[in-house]
Amino acid sequence: MIRKARMIVDKDYTAGAIDERIYGSFIEHIGRAVYGGIYEPSHPTADDMGFRRDCLDSVRRLNVSIVRYPGGNFVSGYNWEDGIGPKHARPRRAELAWKAIETNEIGIDEFSEWARRANTKVMLAVNLGTRGVDAARNLLEYCNRPGGTYWSDLRRKNGYEMPHNIKTWCLGNEMDGAWQLGMKTAEEYGRLACETAKAMKILDPSIELVVCGSSSPLMPGFPQWESTVLDHAYEHVDYLSLHTYLDNLEDDLSNYLAKSLMMERFIESAIATCDYVQAKKRSKKKIMLSFDEWNVWYHSFEANSKTAPWQVAPPFCEDIYTFEDALAFGCMLITLLKHADRIKIACLAQLVNVIAPIMTEKNGGIWHQTIFYPFMHASLYGRGTVLRPIITSPMYDSKDFTDVPQLEAVVTCDEDKKEVVLFAVNRGQELVADCELRQFNGCSLLEHVTMTSDVMKATNSMEFPEKIRPYRIDGAVMQGGTLTVRLPQLSWNMIRLAFSDV
């Protein structure tokens, strides 16, 4: 017996406007993300600066809006001055976060140029682990002042006449984590973040600042950490960061696909905490969220433990994603969009080679993982406004969750393109969904793209780069304002419809 679901979509029932930065990503100096990833001067496709053109093409294909850099744990021990000036004079450093050798061939100048070539923007993190206010304000001066000061003139001397004009900045990374160099208590970090934010906004009032929230929803200090930090920094920052990674270490598919519900509770608790502090301070300002690390991450744990330390760019965190990972990933992506009213920035961690949708081979080819496609679909077509559909779906219980909806979905409406797009994950057996579209005149189906597989552990690879890929599916029927569509069992789906004003 085929299961059925029902969805009511009304143009006036909006969740929030989509900020394009929700389709951001992340590149850290870890493993082969930079060296051997975006940068490989000996590669046949390398451009004049050593950046792989094939990699740039893939990043542009994803339509990535902003990229967080240079970390991550890396930033908490990073001296940004090591990465500027003549390359032959830059120091090689023992990098403590990932026990590697950092050559500093790529720094803020080169990365800013890479971002321009990738048609994206930079979200820059400052070191509040081993450093503080002075290094942060100097870096901002180097990047954003046109000239006439020491650090801005040094940038010009280094060959970058125009400022990088970076507008989004992270005040450190995961400062509540015991693994972090310079870990701090909430009181210590809140004070430092506040003073750093004040100095940076004096220098450039146009920037936006992201303050560190808890490193995951499982941290024992959550949400008290957020409350304490915001008590100090609320009026000087613009976003609170959240990080979440999902795994299937127990190899329980139904439970794995339900774990995005934990992510949803994390978001709702963080919003409640921000609003509590706003009420407590009687502030007119509303803090938004930056979900600047999110992904599936667990496949590489064993391989990482065997990696010899103190190498230059060793393979590290190179998860090879399965089809079931793409489903969990799709659920996370939908969860972010459902909260577009408060989540204005989100960064898929990471972009190339390290827990990434894009994989490269040294002096060789490039291929796309299973998670590449849901991100691409959302980034290309999930624009405009998020609508809040009313969904009636079969439910199931798993080991850790009850009342898990089989249908996980969100709807976006792009008034400029006159498109309404449904993104959906079917967590179970084949499902037929009736979608009632209210206030959408002349609605017609453009395409239904799905991604499914009979083998949950199936992966893509250099040898078989399209073993798992999306394809168009027929059979959807539009009649009397209702779309009836079949969602294959255990599938990711994108359904695009056109509408008119009359």
Domain boundaries, the chain: 3-11+387-500, 19-132+165-197+208-381
3-state secondary structure 249-307: CCCCHHHHCCCHHHHHHHHHHHHHHHHHHHHHHCCCCCCEEEEEEEEECCCCHHHHHCC
Q: Percentage of the chain surpassing pLDDT 70?
A: 100
**pLDDT on residue 153:** 98
The residue from 174, 226, 318, 408 that is catalytic is: 174
On the question of pLDDT at 1 being above 90, the answer is no
Return the pLDDT at 37: 98
pTM for this structure? 0.97
pLDDT, tens digit, 9 for 90 and up, residues 3-51: 999 999 999 999 999 999 999 999 999 999 999 999 999 999 999 999 9
Residue 501 has pLDDT above 90, yes or no: no
Close Cβ partners of 321 (under 8 Å, ≥ 6 residues apart): 296, 299, 329, 369, 370, 371, 459, 460
Query: Is the Cβ–Cβ distance between 55 and 352 less than 8 Å?
Result: yes
Helices (H), 32-181: 53-62, 108-117, 133-144, 150-157
Active site residue 408: no
> What is 19-132+165-197+208-381's CATH topology?
TIM Barrel (3.20.20)
Which member of 28, 81, 95, 293 is catalytic? 293
CATH fold of the domain at 3-11+387-500? Immunoglobulin-like (2.60.40)
**Residue 502 — very low, low, confident or very high, per pLDDT cuts 50/70/90?**
low
The CA distances from residue 422 to 173, 310, 323, 409, in Å, are 34, 47, 20, 7
Name the residue among 489, 208, 206 with its Cα closest to residue 323.
489
> Taking all residues of the chain, what is their mean pLDDT, rounded to a whole number?
97
Q: What is the pLDDT of residue 57?
A: 98
Known catalytic residue: 293?
yes
